[in-house]
Structure 1
């Protein structure tokens, strides 16, 4: 189809064509960045913790009075919890779990020489030392949490020291690769400044209580030590459908064992609820971003369709004349689609520049990562498709204008 008649028509409607071009450009710039932000948030909330998430429930217990023998109290508490029908396993931990924001971390080095380098530099950066998250708990932690042990063994009763600090640990695969790149970490002895800690096992994955943006979310370690005498977080593993019942019975069982404790009903949660609470702001933001992107696309589609309908009404007699001199219905439909394609293409070219500029602004103000370039052609294709779909109904209506319209007086 010759472009000259289309360009001549657009020159007579400069303002409306310019406004539609700007609308398409702004839509492309915003939607590309919004979709990237949505993808980033979805990737964040989809992180795997390494736990058997659908089978875990948590009961936080805080002692009111100081317990004379906290280890004996834990044994009695765990026996009562394991006696609940449906409970497959139970452990007590020191309140830290993945995604519950109770972070406990410490510096750890592959050897004493790495620690010396960190001290000289006054920083862990470039020394070989790292700062993993630390979890601890009673015997059976690996099985209760459902961790995937890929090398070595779990903790045994002999690993729990009667006095002092533990000297063995289980670490994640990510931490093993960070501490001992290109080496086998199992059997190595890490150094924390006052003792060597031997690696006896490696789990596939275990994320931090609070996610970070530095790529260290999988760097965690487990120590064989029970919670202190102040209280504990009891973690129970059961079938997913039994979790609410288990929580109610667990609270009652613990209070029967020792009424001198504080268990807040609102703190009894399944792990699914802990995860949902951690990502609540992200899921809310995803909903808002999706709504804003769809709303902007709808307004753009409405603008394209409305303008096309207006032009069809204005050009009814012109369309009739073209039909009278031999133009087919397909010719009329293609004319409006080609006209829309030119306007959207101009908007796409301007929108690409705006999208890059907006991303640079977001990078400088909100630390958003750089927008991948492949988002731009995908966004352009989406706008072209949206434009063609939006103009299709007016174009079909224009193609049905009969040639007899050309004989009517203006």
Structure 2
């Protein structure tokens, strides 16, 4: 179809054409970035933690304190919990994933190194850590019994206790020892003595996803018994409520002075952590849908207005032999040209918005694939929206149109 007459007509309706072009451009720019943000949030929420999430119960009590009896109380707690019906394993750890705070430490490969080779989260692990969390030990071994150290001993003045062993995540191993076997390699983090890598777990997420996608799995586990931490219990999914209730009763019986501050399944902790991400996803989806609806109504309204205004011209064309299909294609081509102009401007706008988000919110660069996908969506939307008015234009009888002269 010759587009010269279409362009001539659009030049005579510059204001209306410019408005629909700007509307499409704005929708393209916002939707491309919104869909990218939605995908980023969903990807973040779907990242595996490495834990047996649907089997874990997390308890935390206040009032234990790191005193002389803290380690003894912790051992008594764990011994009692492990005897409860339905409990597969239990441990105490300084932190669990999906919290807003995190224990982190720099890691050096030599004792005199000035700048750290990596920054990783630090899990202080009691016996049963791997079994309780359901971690996948992909290389090496677990800690031996004689490698565990009490946290209170490390804090005693003048006490020089070395931490001989460390477990690290595969992501951390690849960062520290690329292309090498990490087992047996020394690293320096807590104290002046080296920790020898004895095992690799994969994956093990950081508590607060710090470091973005590249740093979310930089984790290490030290064999340190931390009494004033989170009590984590592993059980079967269907018995979590029953086991949680029994565990609370048992711990209160052992020490009635303690105050329970947390009693949640791990899935509840994760859901709470990602609550704002889910809200953002639904908000952005709503924005995208609203923009598409407004754009579609704008196209329908403009096309309907132009059909009404051009009734005489349509009738003349029909009288001169134009078929219904030709009239229909005319309006569809006209809309395609307007959408193309708007999409071209919108792509530049999408890039500009992404640059602003990158500089202010550390967002990743918008992948190029989002631009053609956004363009195809708006082209399809435009053709669907204009189809109704275009069919009405194509159905105008030549005789009725000539009587309107």
- Superposition RMSD in Å: 1.9
Long gaps (5+) in structure 2? 154-160
> In the TM superposition, what is the alpha-carbon distance from 1:221 to its structure 2 partner?
1.0
1:147 correspondence with 2:163: no
> In the TM superposition, what is the alpha-carbon distance from 1:387 to its structure 2 partner?
0.6
- Equivalence for 1:186: 183
Label 1:104 to 1:330 Cα distance change in 2 as closer, same or farther (>3 A).
Answer: same
1:293 correspondence with 2:292: no
SS at match of 2:225: coil
| Alignment partners' CA distance in 2, 1:66 and 1:282 | 36
2:86, 2:239 within 8 Å by CA — same for their partners in 1?
Answer: yes
Determine which of 242, 247, 253 is the counterpart of 2:244.
247
1:80, 1:253 within 8 Å by CA — same for their partners in 2?
Answer: yes
Superposed, 1:9-408 pairs within 5 Å as 9-63=9-63, 69-94=69-94, 96-112=95-111, 116-118=112-114, 123-124=115-116, 129-161=117-149, 164-192=161-189, 193-213=191-211, 215-228=214-227, 231-264=228-261, 267-408=262-403
2:314, 2:327 within 8 Å by CA — same for their partners in 1?
Answer: yes
Q: TM-score under structure 2 normalisation? A: 0.91
SS at match of 1:131: strand
1:321, 1:405 within 8 Å by CA — same for their partners in 2?
Answer: no
> In the TM superposition, what is the alpha-carbon distance from 1:188 to its structure 2 partner?
1.6
Identify the range of structure 1 (176-185 vs 142-151) with the bigger mean alpha-carbon deviation: 176-185
> In the TM superposition, what is the alpha-carbon distance from 1:385 to its structure 2 partner?
0.8
Identify the range of structure 1 (299-308 vs 345-354) with the bigger mean alpha-carbon deviation: 345-354
2:124, 2:221 within 8 Å by CA — same for their partners in 1?
Answer: yes
> In the TM superposition, what is the alpha-carbon distance from 1:321 to its structure 2 partner?
2.7
2:167, 2:220 within 8 Å by CA — same for their partners in 1?
Answer: yes
Label 1:243 to 1:347 Cα distance change in 2 as closer, same or farther (>3 A).
Answer: same
| Alignment partners' CA distance in 2, 1:373 and 1:110 | 39
> In the TM superposition, what is the alpha-carbon distance from 1:346 to its structure 2 partner?
1.2
1:65, 1:260 within 8 Å by CA — same for their partners in 2?
Answer: no
1:309, 1:394 within 8 Å by CA — same for their partners in 2?
Answer: yes
| Alignment partners' CA distance in 2, 1:269 and 1:69 | 26
| Alignment partners' CA distance in 1, 2:41 and 2:326 | 46
Label 1:268 to 1:178 Cα distance change in 2 as closer, same or farther (>3 A).
Answer: same
Q: Kindly provide the CA deviation profile for residues 99-139 of structure 1, in whole angstroms up to 9, marking residues without a partner as x.
A: 22341122222232xxx231xxxx32xxxx32211112321
> In the TM superposition, what is the alpha-carbon distance from 1:339 to its structure 2 partner?
0.7
| Alignment partners' CA distance in 2, 1:56 and 1:219 | 22
| Alignment partners' CA distance in 2, 1:406 and 1:233 | 81
Label 1:284 to 1:235 Cα distance change in 2 as closer, same or farther (>3 A).
Answer: same
| Alignment partners' CA distance in 2, 1:360 and 1:68 | 55
